[in-house]
Amino acid sequence: MTTTQFAPDPRALCEIAVRVAAEAGEPAAEGQEGITVLHTKSSPTDVVTEMDRATEELIRSRLLAERPGDAFLGEESGDEDGTSRVRWIVDPIDGTVNYLYGSPDWGVAIAAEVDGQVVAAAVNLPRRGEMYRAVLGQGAFLGQERVTAPETVPLDRALVATGFGYFAERRVRQAQVLLDVIPRVRDIRRTGSAAVDLCALAVGRYNAYYERGLHSWDWSAPGLIASEAGLRVGGLRGGPPSNDMVIAARPELYEQIDRMLQDLGADSDG
Ligand code: IPD
Ligand code: CA
């Protein structure tokens, strides 16, 4: 990567992300009926369908045809180096288990990083008819409408979304943490897609979200949409989002959730 190259306009990257996410969402939605498991990944419940693969390949080919030289990271195909300052981070179908079960709660997520910072994002929820997008510093949009997350609420009034990993040991620990979280909040939701959760948070359908064990393809695109809607998106102890923990909420609530999760040792599997 040469940093003397001009940085591309994030708005142009966002337009590409929206266009490609829209194109990829159509065959994915059409192919949902009758879909079966192709194989499993990290655990027997971590499934891949033919459409995860085909959707990622469509996205990859469109992005790299339009911008040859960009790097690419996809959930299904892994890392591919580039020569430009841009890297695309793609989750072709976030919420694969929902997809397999015929639920509409899954999405196509495409983020563009410039010099390692996410600057543009699109999340298409085809079965919900919702296209979210964001450009760093320029707000988040659902369709043509700018979205702003509602003001904060106290922890005991917060509707909190979360998720569980694919490893049995981690899931047990996540359930134990939840036992201590649930009496302190309004209620808990588990949608089955981090992309859906973070976009739903951006438009006020929840007050907060946290999850351990996500990967950058899970949080990059919807994380920018959430932060551009006014939410703080990070990890434990106010750090950046990571595989250890992703937290998203209005800043005051974020701090309460961060403290609570630290106290509960929520970033350990033991
Ligand atoms: C998963 C979903 C789920 C979350 C898991 C993710 P996938 O992604 O976002 O909500 O709980 O941690 O791995 O496997 O459906 O792309
Ligand atoms: Ca995912």
C-alpha 2 – ligand 1 centre gap (Å): 34
Look up residue 171 and give its two tokens: 């899931």
C-alpha 4 – ligand 1 centre gap (Å): 37
Say how far apart CA 66 and CA 175 lie, in whole Å. 44
**Which residues surround ligand 1 with Cβ inside 6 Å?**
75, 91, 94-96, 163-165, 192-194, 211, 213-214, 218
Identify the pLDDT of residue 2: 47
Say how far apart CA 39 and CA 23 lie, in whole Å. 25
Helix crossing, 50-66 with 10-30: angle to 10°? Answer: 150
Mutate to test the pocket of ligand 1, among 47, 49, 94, 98 (most ligand atoms within 8 A of CB): 94
Identify the pLDDT of residue 4: 65
Residues of the chain with pLDDT below 50 are 1-2
pTM of the model: 0.95
Ligand closest to the CA atom of residue 40: 1
Ligand 1 atom 5, closest CA? 165
Identify the pLDDT of residue 39: 83
Identify the pLDDT of residue 11: 98
Identify the pLDDT of residue 64: 97
Ligand 1 atom closest to residue 193's alpha carbon, by position in its atom list: 10
Ligand 1 atom 13, closest CA? 214
Contact indicator for 130, 199 with CB cutoff of 8 Å: yes
Say how far apart CA 141 and CA 229 lie, in whole Å. 8
